[in-house]
Amino acid sequence: MGLGISLERMRYLKQYFKERPPTDVELQMIGQTWSEHCFHNVFKGDVITDDGRLINSILKTYIMRSTKELDKDWCISVFEDNAGIIDFDKGYAVAAKVETHNHPSAVEPFGGAATGVGGVIRDILGVWGEPVALTDVLCFGPLETRYDELPPGVKHPRYLYRGVVAGIGSYGNNMGIPTVSGAVIFDKGYTGNVVVYCGCIGILPKDAYVRNTRRGDLAVLAGGRTGRDGIHGVTFASAELTEEAEELRSAVQIPNPIVEERLRRAILRIRDERLATGITDLGGGGLSCAAGEMAYRSKLGVDIELDMVPLKAPDMAPWEIWVSESQERMLLSVPEENLERVLEIFSEEDVEASVVGRFVETGRVRVFTRKTVVCDLDLVFLFNPPKVTRRARIPRLTPAWVDLKEPIDLAGEILTLLSDPNIRSKEDVIRTYDHEVRGCTVVKPLHGEEAGPSDAAVVKPLRDSWTGIVISCGVNPFYPDPYWMAAASIEEALRNNAAVGGRRVAILDNFVWGSPENEDNMGRLLKAVEACYDFSKALDTPFISGKDSLYNESPLGPVRPTLLVTGVGIIPDIRNVVTISLKEEGSRVYIIGSTKEELRGSAYFRLKGVDGGEVPKLDAKLSRSLINSLIRAVDEKLVLSCHDLSEGGLGVAAAEMVVASKNLGIELDLGKVPSNTARSDYVLFSESTSRFLVEVDGARWRRFEELFSGLPFSMVGRVARGIGLRIIDLKNGLHELSGSEIKKAWRGY
Amino acid sequence: MSLNGFKACVLRTGGTNCDLETSIALEEVGIKAEIIHMNRIENKSLLDYHLVVFPGGFSYGDYVRAGAVWGKNVLVKLRIELERFIEEGRLVLGICNGFQVLVEAGILPGDGVSETPSAALANNSSARYECRWVWLRVENNETPFTMMMEKGEVLRIPVGHAEGRFLTRSEKDLEELKKNRQIVFRYVLPNGDCANGLYPFNPNGSTYDVAGICNRKGNVMGMMPHPERAFFGWQLVEWGKTPPERGDGRKIFESIVKYFRERIY
């Protein structure tokens, strides 16, 4: 039957069903509800470490604890609904959610990625949000991988890349939601396990956030029809990918964005007329999870009539209907007196909707087909499965010396880094996503006449407010120490946000990891989660939502452990946003933050094939001071342009600013960079955290320096016309690159 | 004359997704705009309006061909009214998917409604969706949609489409369009010179770099670029030190206002 229930839990079930055997519908429902994908057994279970600690729920102990301790009054709903909700402006709130859709995308890249987008959009609709922006972060194996390197069952990265990019574009473009932010990463660690993160940001009037399902309310199922597509999607997603995964193509859902577009219109009209008492989307586990969760969270029960569910195929078995993950469906609880109006709205928008059941006071989920009960389960039992215990071996990074000769041609090194697949322009991807639809995109993914890479995207969602939502991400899977990797990712999300003027940032965590049954994987996960607590607390940025995708295993081994941190900030007036393009000849260029010999896992060391030295670490107190001063400088309009220093360090950041600029370049004196190294290449390519390159108004630099007094910063050069980069190294050597050389290396044309 | 009497109808159907920002642009210049779903158009009369806009999106998923299904739907539901509407000199504007709809319905580039489409908006020659800011040159500034512009003026407006390559049936058809001054906008280089098909300035491979056309009378216009996305200064892709006051797309909406003001029904 493919239940995906462990032997231990099967024994527990045997105990529970002493009086009668369970039905297939019940077993399937339990299988879905208790899957890793739906229940997050590992994050909610116990962890025993090899140094003798017992941790009860790493989710509560680390991630949720920091949010609780920070206790921000602008957090409206965190970790409890389909999406995290924070306060915005003029009575509106912002909802945010990021999901992964790795397993389906590995089997059927177009459908897998498209339904990933569709699913996360429904998460926003599921908190009554109007979607206003999408994000996507994608990780693939190297595109030049040879076919004979691939074991059976692993699809070629180029095939996956094309399919995933097309799938994401298709869904977002068709729905008319701009895809504004993201990243594309290539590495061997993703060849067997493609990673697809899809995020959605929405807005809603605060008083429209209704979650108040009452006894007697009707369960209304609306949207697409229910079919055999997407059966066992969650149990599939909770298992390892094997050669046989192809057989599970039916676990991947079929996307139809136009149905969801109509559904969105109808849902928002129902919201605005306040006709429903509750809503949730049908995602993993389909109707079984949606109906069960909605009843359970309202401390009610639910009776469902499967005969009332509109089907794609008439001969579906009851359990198939119950767990099918067919797309574009939402479940609403509607008071009887509003039913007529609700159905009228659905019909006006060409959306099929049917009453499939009723919320009752039983505390049970009962499912009927042809008047027969085929499922009758206690909800408390269902949502409290026996806890899982995992063992973790705490990783210790082996120190390694670095043996790397300092290169003479620094300009050449910059060009090589700029054309690295992980750094070079992602224009081929970005332009196939509509990032302008809705007419609200202020800072675009490729900004300026010369289309340089923005640090973060800004959208202006309300017509009568200048406040903007600032969307950024941080992801550093190459830093080998999971603790500092997580720290750097959190700070990168904040840095990118601050670089355009964003503040009051809430963050979302998305873990993509290998099997938690492996103690080393679990140990790395634990260290990363510890860093999430330490640094979200220290950086004063609460987690509001998150999701983990474990069991990313393939014949090529586990996925490269990857934590994506998505930052959602605000800027009070979008007219003050800062972009990356240089603005004025002669203005001063400053570096903020200090540069250390921290290159382990950096783009430069990876290029050189070197592993050793120190990973970038993070001084949270310093980071906060630097970012706060930068925001003040932005608000006082001292900052003309800004770029954060991340992959490729100062060299790449400066070059990217030149890419975005027309006829303007930067003169850079490495001797003026506050640093602890004597090597020019390290100053240029170190990936130390908390650093920005800032162009400052030539007339008001004194005020800028005043704002940073006591902090590490230095003027390192000036903006000049007609050049690209002119770098003076630590030994007074001159390295020059023209603007067109830099642009060609980064763009590839 | 006040604009109070002039009303615009922004049509939508399943998959339309630029109706809201298009209405906002109309309202910002003072035209009252109503968004009406095709399912409810039967209860309304088109003749209550002075401007009908077919906005952008992916109507009916753009299955078959972009705009094909909505185009036929328009003919079935609205043909007689729409013919009279155009005949009377009222305005019809199609943006992106709306342009595709007007072509598929045979409303552009002909006069009145032709039995079969006489032009097409084919797949981009890059074979993919293209979202980018382009430069447009105003070829005809004597239409109701361009009267606030100079001839030869270069506008900065974004495109976002996968099917925007304008094709005519024959060279002769193209010559007809040129002769009748039906070509309103062409893709050009930043300095205003012809793009001559050069990618990405001509983002889709359109014949003769055509970005927008009108009917012979000039009261029906279709264009691939999105003026509603270049309406406010803050929407623009490059700001300089501060956001500009306004975007070039605004001029299309302002032209409509000027036309309404000068014209007495």
In tens, the pLDDT along A353-378 reads 999 999 999 999 999 999 999 999 99
- Report CA torsion sign: A312, A314, A318, A319: negative
pLDDT, position A518 = 95
Q: Do B37 and A262 touch (CB under 8 A)?
A: no
The three state secondary structure string of A236-249 is HHCCCCCHHHHHHH
Average pLDDT, chain A: 95
Confidence of residue A38 (pLDDT cuts 50, 70, 90): confident
Lowest mean pLDDT among A600-614, A650-664, B32-46: B32-46
With contacts defined as CB-CB under 8 Å, which chain B residues touch A571? none
pLDDT digit string, tens, across residues A436-481 = 999 999 999 999 889 999 999 999 999 999 999 999 999 999 999 9
With contacts defined as CB-CB under 8 Å, which chain A residues touch B239? 579
Which of A347, A368, A390 delimits the end of a domain?
Answer: A390
With contacts defined as CB-CB under 8 Å, which chain B residues touch A257? 58, 61
Q: Do A581 and B160 touch (CB under 8 A)?
A: no
pLDDT, position A1 = 55
Buried b (16+ CB within 10 A) or exposed e, B119-157: bbbbbbebeebbbbbbbbbbbbbebbbbbbbeeeebbbb
Is the Cβ–Cβ distance between A447 and A425 less than 8 Å?
no
- Percentage of chain B surpassing pLDDT 70? 98
Half-sphere CA count of B105, side-chain side, radius 13 A:
31
- Give a yes or no: residue A523 inside a domain: no
| ipTM of the shown complex | 0.95
Is the Cβ–Cβ distance between B87 and B69 less than 8 Å?
no
CB atoms under 10 Å from CB of A601, counted, come to 23
Which residue in A165, A173, A349, A436 has the most chain B C-beta atoms within 10 A of its own C-beta, making it the best mutation to test that interface? A436
**Range(s) of the domain holding residue A627:** 579-749
pLDDT above 80: residue B111: no
CATH of the domain at A154: 3.90.650.10
Q: Which residues of A are catalytic?
A: 37, 101
Which of A342, A364, A390 delimits the end of a domain?
Answer: A390
Is the Cβ–Cβ distance between B199 and B134 less than 8 Å?
no
The distance of A634 to chain B (nearest Cα, Å) reads 12
The dihedral region occupied by A90, where left means phi > 0, alpha psi between -120 and 50, and beta the remainder, is: left
Q: Do B234 and A460 touch (CB under 8 A)?
A: yes
Q: Do B234 and A442 touch (CB under 8 A)?
A: yes
Which of A345, A362, A390 delimits the end of a domain?
Answer: A390
The distance of B30 to chain A (nearest Cα, Å) reads 16
How far is it, in rounded angstroms, from Cα A26 to Cα B216?
A: 67
For B59, the closest chain A residue by CA position comes to A258
Query: What residues are paired with A139 via a beta bridge?
Result: A185, A195
Confidence of residue A299 (pLDDT cuts 50, 70, 90): very high
Q: Do A439 and B242 touch (CB under 8 A)?
A: no
pLDDT digit string, tens, across residues A98-113 = 999 999 999 999 999 9
pLDDT digit string, tens, across residues A49-97 = 999 999 999 999 999 999 999 999 999 999 988 999 999 999 999 999 9
pLDDT above 90: residue A648: yes
Structure tokens at A458: 């800004």
* Whether residue B88 lies in the annotated active site: no
CB atoms under 10 Å from CB of A376, counted, come to 18
pLDDT above 70: residue B4: no
Q: Do A437 and B228 touch (CB under 8 A)?
A: no
End-to-end Cα separation, chain A, in angstroms: 53
Write the CA distances from A601 to A403, A478, A617, integer angstroms. 15, 5, 12
Q: Do A349 and B14 touch (CB under 8 A)?
A: yes
- Give a yes or no: residue A483 inside a domain: no
Is the Cβ–Cβ distance between A82 and A162 less than 8 Å?
no
Marked catalytic residue, from B18, B161, B214, B226: B226
With contacts defined as CB-CB under 8 Å, which chain B residues touch A442? 234-235
pLDDT, position A397 = 87
In degrees rounded to 5, what are phi and psi of residue A124? -75, -45
Interface A:B, Cβ pairs < 8 A = 101
Angle between helices A482-499 and A519-538 (to 10 degrees): 40
Which residue in B18, B199, B239 has the most chain A C-beta atoms within 10 A of its own C-beta, making it the best mutation to test that interface? B239
Write the CA distances from A99 to A199, A511, B3, integer angstroms. 6, 10, 48
Confidence of residue A5 (pLDDT cuts 50, 70, 90): confident
Residue written as token pair 């599921």: A126
Q: Do B61 and A431 touch (CB under 8 A)?
A: no
Which residue in A437, A465, A585 has the most chain B C-beta atoms within 10 A of its own C-beta, making it the best mutation to test that interface? A437
Is the Cβ–Cβ distance between A212 and A351 less than 8 Å?
no
Residue written as token pair 């943006």: B95
Q: Which residue has the higher pLDDT, A3 or B165?
A: B165
Q: Do A434 and B160 touch (CB under 8 A)?
A: yes
Structure tokens at B213: 């056309």
With contacts defined as CB-CB under 8 Å, which chain B residues touch A449? 237-238
Please name the residues in contact with B55: beta carbons below 8 A apart, sequence gap of 6 or more: B10, B11, B12, B16, B17, B18, B19, B22, B95, B96, B97, B98, B228
Q: Which residue has the higher pLDDT, A15 or A340?
A: A340
pLDDT digit string, tens, across residues B165-223 = 999 999 999 999 999 999 999 999 999 999 999 999 999 999 999 999 999 999 999 99
- Give a yes or no: residue A443 inside a domain: no
The distance of A372 to chain B (nearest Cα, Å) reads 38
Which of A430, A436, A640 is facing B241, going by the closest CB pair? Answer: A640
- Percentage of chain A surpassing pLDDT 70? 98
Is the Cβ–Cβ distance between B136 and B249 less than 8 Å?
no
CB atoms under 10 Å from CB of A428, counted, come to 14
Q: Do A439 and B24 touch (CB under 8 A)?
A: yes
Structurally, at CATH architecture level, domain B7-262 sits in: 3-Layer(aba) Sandwich (3.40)
Structure tokens at A123: 């998460």
Residue written as token pair 């608000």: A635
Q: Which residue has the higher pLDDT, B62 or A545?
A: A545
pLDDT, position A232 = 78
* Whether residue B130 lies in the annotated active site: no
With contacts defined as CB-CB under 8 Å, which chain A residues touch B131? 430-436
For B60, the closest chain A residue by CA position comes to A258
Q: How many domains, in total, are found in chain A?
A: 2
pLDDT, position B1 = 42
In degrees rounded to 5, what are phi and psi of residue A90? 50, 40
Structure tokens at A119: 């699913």
Rg (C-alpha) for chain A, rounded Å, is 26
Residue written as token pair 């203005």: A587
The distance of A716 to chain B (nearest Cα, Å) reads 22
- Give a yes or no: residue A445 inside a domain: no
The distance of B154 to chain A (nearest Cα, Å) reads 15
Confidence of residue A239 (pLDDT cuts 50, 70, 90): confident
With contacts defined as CB-CB under 8 Å, which chain A residues touch B228? 439
H helices within chain B, ranges in order? 19-28, 68-87, 97-104, 171-179, 250-262
Q: Do A258 and B15 touch (CB under 8 A)?
A: yes
Write the CA distances from B21 to A463, B17, B56, B100, B226, integer angstroms. 10, 9, 10, 19, 10
How far is it, in rounded angstroms, from Cα B173 to Cα B175?
A: 5
